[in-house]
A = this chain, B = another copy of it.
């Protein structure tokens, strides 16, 4: 009930041609549609029409959307956001291609968020009758599905309040300056499914995208992905490694416009009744588990 998952991201690209090649051939996404200045992509194991819209011009996150479980839930969440003090506007069907009516708000973090219930059904690449475990041929990394995004905000605590009190998320992990009352929140990992996070916020400039991540199967898929990144000369920011924080296995890398991507697997399973795990800044080294140094560059943003 409520927010089902991170549904789509609209990401700005300085050059649409190189982005098309990168997301199509390196990540292995399927181009679902194109309009002047826009490309719509889905991954092979997703049901919905698209999870990524590339928009020509600049870099960074134009907006993102959460799929919610019903139109009544849409209304309930809209009311909740207004009570929290957000301004919301209604968006009509097909304002975004293939997406039904919804609610849009500018978050305190400066990001534009949309909630929607309907999106055209496209179906996975393996279908619903006696499917193989994956398509026989996959292009490039062949990522199966979108997983999560990490955004920057000047006030992580405020964003955590909004997501937990209004949008029904819970915090699986929190990074604080120190334990106890004097500790400030540096970052928060928020889930509505049973994964370590569907969205996360980290202290930083308003409105920026740290990265968005694709789920892959396991550590061998992380290596396979890394091999493709190397063959395709994609700049790698970090990894392969394990995140101590979330246990996720990971590589970070950059799309042609400098938007940071991640392939991610094997993070901790969460549930609504689990306690939140706390990380303290002085242990942040172990947060990048094996390599152990969190490179400065890692916390820069687009």
Contacts and interface: CB of A to CB of B under 8 A. Distances in A.
A277 B133 contact: no
Contacts of A235: 292
A239 B130 contact: no
Interface stretch (A56-64, A102-110, A264-272): A264-272
A301 to B, nearest CB: 20
Contacts of A128: 275-278
B289 A134 contact: no
Contact of A129 (B67, B129, B239, B280): B280
A203 interface: no
Nearest to A145: B269
A130 to B, nearest CB: 4
Interface string A241-279: 110100101010000000000000110110111111111
Interface residues of A, number: 64
A290 B219 contact: no
A17 interface: no
Q: How many protomers of this protein does the assembly include?
A: 4
Given A195-B194, A230-B286, A218 B266 contact: yes
A217 B218 contact: yes
Given A230-B286, A244-B133, A277-B128, A4 B223 contact: no
B134 A227 contact: yes
A59 B1 CA distance: 39
A277 B286 CA distance: 37
A5 B279 CA distance: 27
Given A290-B236, A290-B240, A130 B273 contact: no
Given A223-B219, A226-B242, A278 B194 contact: no
Contacts of A228: 136
Which among A129, A223, A239, A277 has the highest number of chain B CB atoms within 10 Å? A223
Given A229-B290, A290-B239, A290-B240, A273 B69 contact: yes
30 contacts: A4-B271, A4-B272, A45-B269, A47-B275, A69-B272, A129-B277, A129-B280, A130-B280, A131-B277, A133-B230, A133-B244, A133-B289, A134-B227, A145-B269, A194-B194, A215-B269, A218-B220, A219-B219, A219-B220, A219-B223, A223-B242, A223-B249, A226-B242, A227-B290, A230-B290, A235-B292, A236-B290, A236-B291, A236-B292, A240-B291
Given A230-B289, A235-B292, 7 more contacts: A5-B271, A132-B231, A133-B227, A136-B231, A227-B290, A230-B286, A240-B240
